[in-house]
């Protein structure tokens, strides 16, 4: 910082930097973000100043630069605040600075794909032990929506290790982890040997799991190929080709239900829109599972056929060969993917007499995944190691 002064006729401070640029900081924001121990709990980096003590119209009584590249502000009540120059510059209110901060907070932008995708791959062991590889895993998972980890032990337990690498896994009514295999009196269509149509998991929950982990322990000799589709990419295609269908699926609340007994007995129900959109109308989450779509349809009779027509249009576009990636997991493979973005399915298979196809599954929330991604990003930047790029990209 080269100079700091009050902006005449306003409740702002202007800071001039060594490179000749300027930043303007509203006084109310500066007072709200005082860094002293009375106003901020240092051990938690949490604001301790109650909002009722904040004067929206506050103006600085005095402002001056202090040693150590600090700005010292004295307020009308005599309270003094100090701000480091680097801390202030990172929070500059210019449009470019705000955009830079938001990109750091939200991390990589997504890359869309269709059937041309070659699955990104990383070694399972490296992800567990190396920060650069773990960072590459989670960054690619955010960007592309899927990463295949190779070489895990072909026995249950690998997902618990991945959960510890992330922080923790999400507990659901199917347990901390669960086995996907052909079962008598199956309480889930995934626990059969038949074809599993493209779907997202658990739209019957208020907050569906963000990331799914599937570990192949044993594979069927014939059949059982996995299918993946970038649902957000297809939703954008639907908007281009059938805007009315897109609007209907983004506006209609669909009932989902799941009942049974597993980790405990459960009866869950939730309304979800097939395509969730943000304030700009951009698709941000897919909630589509035909197996658990409830028989209740909460629309007027005259809207039933248009809804089904829109859903069929989306389903047909999802299944088009230009959008589907097909592959077969091998024992030791761990498929990790974005359950809010990707739809996954499985071709039918012949259940083996001795063992047969068996996958272990688990979930993690995006809050946990993105938290670990930010921490790993800081760790690898500090060590100047970016980690290996996943094979297949």
Q: So what's the architecture of 3-106 in CATH?
A: 2-Layer Sandwich (3.30)
Q: What are phi and psi of 128, to 5 degrees?
A: -70, -35
pLDDT class of 385 with cuts at 50, 70, 90: low
In this structure, the dihedral spanned by the alpha carbons of residues 138, 142, 148 and 151, taken in order and rounded to 10 degrees, is 0
Residue 190: pLDDT above 90?
A: no
The per-residue pLDDT for 188 is: 85
CA 378 to chain centre: 18
Average pLDDT of the residues in 205-233: 96
> Given this structure, which CATH class describes domain 121-383?
alpha beta
Residue 28: pLDDT above 80?
A: yes
- d(Cα 178, Cα 363) in Å, to the nearest integer? 10
Q: What are phi and psi of 380, to 5 degrees?
A: -75, -30
pLDDT tens column, 97-118? 888 888 877 778 899 999 999 9
pLDDT tens column, 110-150? 999 999 999 999 999 999 999 999 999 999 999 999 999 99
For the chain, state the CA radius of gyration: 26
Residue 389: pLDDT above 90?
A: no
Quick one: what percent of the chain has pLDDT higher than 90?
Answer: 85
User: Within 10 A of 286 (CB to CB), how many other CB atoms are there?
Assistant: 31
SS (H, E, C) the chain: CCEEEECCCCCEEEEECCCCCEEEEEHHHHHHCCCCCCCEECCCCEECCCHHHCCCCCCCCEEEEECCCEEEEECCCCCEEEEEHHHHHHCCCCHHHHHHHHHHHHCCCCCCCCCCCCCCEEEHHHHHHCHHHHHHHHHHHHHHCEEEEECCCCCCCHHHHHHHHHCCCECECCECCEEECCCCCCCCHHHCCCCEEEECCCCCCCCCCCEEEEEEEECCCCECCEEEEEHHHHHHHHHHHCHHHHHHHHHCEEEEEEEEECCCEEEEEEEEECEEECCCCCEEEECCCCCCECCCCCCCHHHHHHHHHHHHHHHHHHHCCCCEEEECCCCCCEEEEECCCEEEEECCECCCCCCCCEEEEEEECHHHHHHHHHHHHHHHHHHCCCCCCCECC
The domain ranges of the chain are 3-106, 121-383
The model carries a pTM of 0.89
Average pLDDT of the residues in 85-104: 90
Residue 353: pLDDT above 70?
A: no
């Amino acid at each position: 910082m080269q100079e700091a002064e009050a902006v005449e006729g306003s409740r702002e401070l202007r800071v001039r930097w060594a490179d000749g640029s300027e930043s303007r900081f509203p006084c109310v924001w500066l007072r709200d973000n005082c860094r002293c121990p009375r106003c901020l709990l240092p051990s938690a980096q949490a604001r301790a100043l109650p909002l009722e003590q904040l004067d929206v119209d506050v103006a600085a009584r005095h402002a001056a630069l202090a040693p150590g590249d600090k700005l010292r502000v004295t307020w009308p009540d005599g309270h003094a605040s100090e701000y480091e120059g680097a801390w202030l510059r990172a929070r500059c209110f210019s449009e470019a600075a705000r955009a830079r901060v938001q990109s750091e907070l939200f991390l990589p932008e997504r890359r869309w794909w269709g059937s041309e995708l070659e699955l990104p791959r990383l070694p399972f062991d490296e992800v567990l032990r190396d920060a650069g590889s773990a960072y590459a895993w989670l960054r690619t998972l955010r960007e592309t929506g899927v990463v295949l980890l190779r070489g895990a032990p072909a026995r249950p337990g690998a997902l618990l290790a991945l959960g510890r690498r992330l922080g923790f896994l999400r507990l659901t009514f199917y347990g901390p982890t669960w086995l996907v295999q052909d079962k008598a009196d199956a309480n889930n269509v995934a626990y059969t040997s038949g074809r599993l149509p493209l779907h997202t998991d658990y739209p019957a929950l208020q907050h569906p799991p963000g990331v799914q982990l599937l570990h192949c322990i044993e594979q069927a000799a014939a059949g059982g190929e996995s299918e993946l589709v970038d649902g957000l990419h297809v939703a954008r295609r639907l908007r281009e080709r059938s805007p009315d269908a897109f609007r209907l699926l983004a506006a209609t609340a669909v009932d989902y239900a799941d009942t049974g007994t597993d980790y405990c007995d459960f009866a869950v129900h939730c309304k979800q829109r097939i395509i969730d959109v943000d304030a700009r109308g951009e698709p941000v989450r897919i909630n589509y599972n035909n197996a658990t779509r409830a028989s209740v349809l909460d629309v007027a009779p005259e809207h039933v056929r248009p809804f089904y027509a829109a859903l069929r249009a989306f389903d047909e576009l999802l299944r088009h060969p230009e959008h589907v990636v097909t592959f077969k997991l091998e024992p030791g493979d761990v498929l990790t993917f974005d359950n809010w973005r990707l739809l996954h399915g499985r071709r039918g298979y012949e259940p083996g007499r001795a063992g047969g196809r068996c996958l272990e599954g688990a979930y993690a929330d995006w809050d946990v995944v993105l938290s670990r991604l930010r921490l790993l990003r800081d760790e690898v930047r500090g060590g100047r190691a970016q980690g290996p790029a996943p094979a297949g990209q």
